[in-house]
C-alpha cells in the first residue's frame, strides 16, 4: 500500500484543505508569488496557463513550498502574514 502524506490522508477522510503556496518562476530568477487555494494542482495549472494577471508574464512556475490548513481563516491569515514585511523576511529565511 502506498503511503500518503498527511494532507492527502486528511483529504481522503473528507477534510477540506486550504493551501498557502509559494511559487518561484522557472524563467525569471527572483520572481516569487504567494497565494492560497483549496486545489493546489489546479491552481498551479492556472498560473502556468497565464490565467492570473499577476503571474502570467513570468510563467512557468514551480511550487517552492506549501502549507496545508483545515481552517480557511487560518490559511488566509498565514497568506496575509507572508505578504507582510516580517512575513517576507520569514519566507526568505525559511522557505526560499
Query: pLDDT per residue over 19-68, tens digit each?
Result: 999 999 999 989 999 999 999 999 999 999 999 999 999 999 999 999 99
Q: Over the stretch 7-28, which tens digit does the pLDDT of each residue have?
A: 666 556 678 999 999 999 999 9
State the Cα–Cα distance between residues 81 and 88, nearest whole angstrom: 8
Cis amide prior to 37 (ω within 30 degrees): no
Range of the domain at 32: 6-84
Q: Is residue 48 part of a domain?
A: yes
Q: By the 8 A CB rule, do 91 and 23 touch?
A: no
Q: How many domains does the chain have?
A: 1
User: Is 76 a domain residue?
Assistant: yes
Residue 74: phi and psi, rounded to 5, are: -70, -40
For the whole model, what pTM was predicted? Answer: 0.84
Q: Residue 73 and residue 82: Cα distance in Å, rounded?
A: 14
What CATH number does residue 25 fall under? Answer: 3.40.1440
What 3-state DSSP class applies to 48?
A: helix
Confirm whether 25 is domain-assigned. yes
CB within 8 Å of 18: residues ≥ 6 apart? 36, 37, 38, 68, 69, 70, 71, 72, 74, 75, 76
Amino acid at each position: 500500500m502506498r503511503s500518503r502524506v498527511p494532507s492527502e490522508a486528511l483529504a481522503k477522510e473528507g477534510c477540506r484543505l486550504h493551501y498557502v503556496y509559494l511559487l518561484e518562476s522557472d524563467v525569471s530568477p527572483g520572481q516569487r508569488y504567494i497565494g492560497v487555494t483549496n486545489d493546489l494542482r489546479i491552481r498551479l495549472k492556472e498560473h502556468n496557463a497565464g490565467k492570473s494577471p499577476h503571474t502570467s508574464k513570468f510563467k512557468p512556475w514551480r511550487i517552492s513550498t506549501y502549507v496545508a490548513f483545515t481552517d480557511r481563516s487560518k490559511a488566509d491569515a498565514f497568506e496575509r502574514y507572508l505578504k507582510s514585511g516580517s512575513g517576507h523576511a520569514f519566507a526568505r529565511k525559511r522557505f526560499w
